[in-house]
C-alpha cells in the first residue's frame, strides 16, 4: 500500500541529472546552504584572484591605481633577480616533489612490510608534518651552520666535508628543499601507506605462487596498484612546492643574493617595497605556472585511468 504523500516526497528527493524538476522548491538540499560558505569564499578568495589580473596591469598604491598595461610583466622578465624566482620555483617544486615520491614510497613499503617498531616509526616520521614550518626552518638554519652546525660536525666525524648549505649560493635553494623533504616526507608516506594497504593481499600471494621475488612483487604489484596514491603525492607536493614561502623565508629570505628566491618570496618582497602592482603580477605569474604544470598532469593521469 502506497500513500500519495511519501511517493511525492520520494520523487522530490530524486534529483537525477536529467530529471531536474521546476517544482523542487522544497528540496531537503536547499541551495541556500551554499550561501554563507560560498559568500566568504567568493569575497575573500575568488574576487581577489580575479582582481589580480587587473591590478597586475597597474601601478598601484592600494588607494590609487594607474593603468600601465603589461609594464609590470616586462619588468618582471627583464630583471634577472625577479625572473630567476620563476626558475627557482620550478626547480624547488620538482626536487621536493620528486624526493617525496621516492622517499614516501620507500618508507611506505618499509612500514607496511614485516618489520618491528612500525607504530613508532609511523608516528615519528609524521610528527614533523605538524610542527611549525617557521620553527623547523629556524632550527635547521642552526643545524646547517657551515662550521659549528651539528650536521657538518657529524659529517666531519665520518670524514666528509659538508657544503656550506645555506651560505653557499649553489646550495642554498637545495638545502631548503632538503629540509622541506625532511618535514613533508611523512605525509607522502602516509598517503602511500594507505594506497599499499588497500591492495588486496591475494595479489601478493598470487605473485608469490607464480615465483615472483620481492623486487618483482614491488615492480608489478605494489607500484602499479598504488598509482592513485602516487598521483595524490605528486600533485599535492607540486602545488605545495610551487607555493612555498614560510620555509624559504625562515631559512634564507631568498638569499644569498637572490639564489633561493622563489615566486612567493618575490611577491612578498615587492609587496614590502611598496610595488603592489609588480607584486600582484608575480602572483599572476605563479598562478599561470601552477595551471600550466598541474592541469596537464590532471588530464594525463585521468586519461590513463580511463584507458585501463
Subset of residues 129 to 188 that bind other proteins, contact rule: CB under 8 A: 130-136, 138-140, 142-143, 145, 148-150, 153, 182, 187
Least distance (Å) between residue 248 CB and other proteins: 11
Element containing residue 66 per DSSP (H, E): strand 65-67
Report whether the peptide linkage leading into residue 93 is cis, meaning its omega lies within 30 degrees of zero. no
CB 164 within 8 A of CB 83: no
Per rule CB under 8 A, count of chain residues that contact other proteins: 101
Nearest of 260, 282, 285, 262 to residue 271 by alpha carbon: 282
Part in contact with other proteins (CB under 8 A); list of ranges 55-63, 73-81, 166-174, 254-262:
55-63
Decide whether 92 or 249 has the Cβ nearer to other proteins: 249
The reply on whether position 75 binds other proteins by CB under 8 A is: no
Instruction: Report how far residue 263's alpha carbon sits from residue 232's, in angstroms, rounded to the nearest whole number.
Output: 23
Interacting positions 217-276 with other proteins (CB under 8 A): 228-229, 232, 236, 239, 242-243, 245-246, 249-250, 264, 267-268, 271, 276
Residues 6+ apart with CB under 8 A from 184: 96, 100, 128, 129, 237, 240
Least distance (Å) between residue 10 CB and other proteins: 7
Grid coordinates belonging to 280: 600582484
The reply on whether position 123 binds other proteins by CB under 8 A is: yes
The reply on whether position 212 binds other proteins by CB under 8 A is: no
Instruction: Report how far residue 261's alpha carbon sits from residue 57's, in angstroms, rounded to the nearest whole number.
Output: 23
Among 72, 237, 260, 279, binds other proteins (CB under 8 A): 279
Least distance (Å) between residue 78 CB and other proteins: 21
Amino acid at each position: 500500500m502506497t500513500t500519495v504523500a511519501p511517493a511525492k516526497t520520494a520523487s522530490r528527493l530524486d534529483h537525477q541529472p536529467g530529471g531536474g524538476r521546476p517544482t523542487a522548491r522544497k528540496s531537503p538540499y536547499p541551495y541556500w546552504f551554499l550561501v554563507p560558505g560560498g559568500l566568504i569564499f567568493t569575497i575573500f578568495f575568488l574576487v581577489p584572484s580575479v582582481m589580480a589580473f587587473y591590478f597586475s596591469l597597474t601601478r598601484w598604491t592600494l588607494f590609487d591605481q594607474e593603468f600601465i598595461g603589461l609594464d609590470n610583466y616586462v619588468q618582471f622578465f627583464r630583471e634577472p633577480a625577479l625572473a630567476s624566482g620563476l626558475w627557482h620555483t620550478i626547480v624547488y617544486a620538482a626536487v621536493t616533489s620528486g624526493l617525496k615520491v621516492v622517499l614516501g614510497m620507500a618508507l611506505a613499503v618499509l612500514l607496511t612490510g614485516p618489520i618491528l617498531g612500525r607504530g613508532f616509526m609511523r608516528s615519528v616520521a609524521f610528527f614533523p608534518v605538524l610542527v611549525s614550518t617557521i620553527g623547523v626552518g629556524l632550527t635547521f638554519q642552526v643545524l646547517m651552520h657551515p662550521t659549528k652546525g651539528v650536521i657538518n660536525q657529524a659529517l666531519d666525524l665520518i670524514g666528509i666535508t659538508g657544503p656550506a648549505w645555506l651560505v653557499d649560493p649553489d646550495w642554498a635553494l637545495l638545502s631548503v628543499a632538503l629540509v622541506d623533504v625532511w618535514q613533508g616526507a611523512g605525509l607522502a608516506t602516509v598517503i602511500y601507506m594507505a594506497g599499499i594497504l588497500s591492495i588486496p593481499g591475494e595479489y601478493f600471494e598470487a605473485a608469490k605462487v607464480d615465483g615472483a621475488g620481492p623486487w618483482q612483487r614491488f615492480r608489478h604489484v605494489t607500484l602499479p596498484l598504488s598509482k592513485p596514491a602516487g598521483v595524490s603525492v605528486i600533485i599535492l607536493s607540486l602545488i605545495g612546492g610551487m607555493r612555498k614561502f614560510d620555509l624559504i623565508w625562515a631559512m634564507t629570505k631568498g638569499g644569498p643574493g637572490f639564489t633561493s628566491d622563489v615566486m612567493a618570496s618575490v611577491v612578498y618582497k615587492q609587496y614590502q617595497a611598496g610595488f603592489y602592482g609588480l607584486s600582484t603580477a608575480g602572483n599572476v605569474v605563479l598562478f599561470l605556472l601552477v595551471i600550466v604544470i598541474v592541469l596537464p598532469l590532471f588530464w594525463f593521469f585521468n586519461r590513463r585511468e580511463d584507458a585501463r
